[in-house]
Structure 1
Amino acid sequence: MARSTARKRALNTLYEADEKGQDILSLLDERIAQPGAQTPLPDYAVEIVRGVADHRRDIDRMLNDHSTSWKVRRMHVVDRNILRIATWEIVYNDDVPDKVAIDEAINLAKTLCDDDAPSFIHGLLSAISAAEHPDGKDARPDQAE
């Protein structure tokens, strides 16, 4: 299964936990045990959800530090979870080039969010990427996903 599909499935899980106020990992365990009508979660979706859950405080701090307009708690639920996924990929997943993480987040925002979200998400993730790579170079090779 393509990673873009796995990102969407991870987003669905993170969104549901956020909306319900439920612990992310407990919801993930439920989804793994009982996928319901959907196919089981792809391995990469599980990796994303666990990664975001494990690093959520640091991810939210980075988002708050680099956001020039909205703090995480005031962002739309979908926007903040797209940002969490991409920030996890930029900071904690060495297999995904920053450009790919940012492009995938923008594509999700274009289909799921309001018209202003893609540019907001692009700017915020670009700032996080620049902070992670102050020399302007992503340590990972550029590759298509």
Structure 2
Amino acid sequence: MKTYRRQLREKIIQALYTLELRDVDTDSAANWLLTKEIMDDPNAMKFFNHLMQSIVRNREEIDRYIAKHTFNWDMSRIAIIDKNILRMALAEILYCEDIPPKVSINEAIEIAKKFSSTDKSSKFVNGILDAIFNDMKAEGRIKKCGRGLVDHSEQKMQKTENNR
């Protein structure tokens, strides 16, 4: 049976939550969540490990983006689930070159709807990720190319004008 990325993202959120609340290492936080089905799927494990490690290794950078865009909120006041959903989505945007940023944002919103304790969480996650994504695009921080990976509307308009 194929393991879908949404399931893996949900497992990552659960592992990150465990890391926040318990004094365990990353492997211990993740391993108890991984089913045999996931562990037997090399593509699933590759995605899971890459995204999990990207979050853990780059947490300070990711948290700086979050803090910059939540200026009315201290990081400690953001719900643990919401904070980890933001971290996961930003890690995908920054370090998973094959995933369109809008997919990462939409997945984060859907996971927030499922895991967060309030219906406002998905709107909060959406607003923060949208603002961060727009800043990253303006800074040239998004390094994705290929169909659907970045918004090429400006480039298309420029090509159209050049062809006239």
User: TM-score scaled by structure 1?
Assistant: 0.82
Q: CA–CA distance in 2 between the matches of 1:102 and 1:36?
A: 23
Q: Aligned ranges for residues 16-31 of structure 1 at < 5 Å?
A: 16-22=18-24, 26-28=25-27, 31=30
Structure 1 stretches of 5 or more lacking a match? Answer: none
Q: Aligned ranges for residues 12-51 of structure 1 at < 5 Å?
A: 12-22=14-24, 26-28=25-27, 31-32=30-31, 35=32, 38-39=35-36, 40=38, 42-43=44-45, 44-51=47-54
Number of positions where the alignment pairs a residue of Structure 1 with one of Structure 2: 137
CA contact (8 A) 2:15 2:33 kept: no
Q: CA–CA distance in 2 between the matches of 1:102 and 1:78?
A: 15
Is residue 142 of structure 1 aligned with residue 141 of structure 2? no
With 8-17 and 65-74 compared, the bigger mean Cα shift is at 65-74
Q: CA–CA distance in 2 between the matches of 1:36 and 1:9?
A: 6
Aligned counterpart, 1:131: 135
Q: CA–CA distance in 2 between the matches of 1:115 and 1:46?
A: 30
Q: Aligned ranges for residues 60-99 of structure 1 at < 5 Å?
A: 60-99=63-102
Letter in structure 1 aligned against 2:114: T
**Secondary structure, counterpart of 1:134 in structure 2:** helix
The structure showing larger relative contact order (alpha-carbon pairs under 8 Å, at least 6 residues apart) is: 1
Which protein is bigger by CA-based radius of gyration?
2
User: TM-score scaled by structure 2?
Assistant: 0.74
Percent identity, please. Answer: 27
**Which residue, out of 116, 120, 125, partners 1:116?**
120
**Secondary structure, counterpart of 1:106 in structure 2:** helix
CA contact (8 A) 1:83 1:121 kept: yes
Q: CA RMSD in A?
A: 2.3
Q: CA–CA distance in 2 between the matches of 1:37 and 1:97?
A: 25
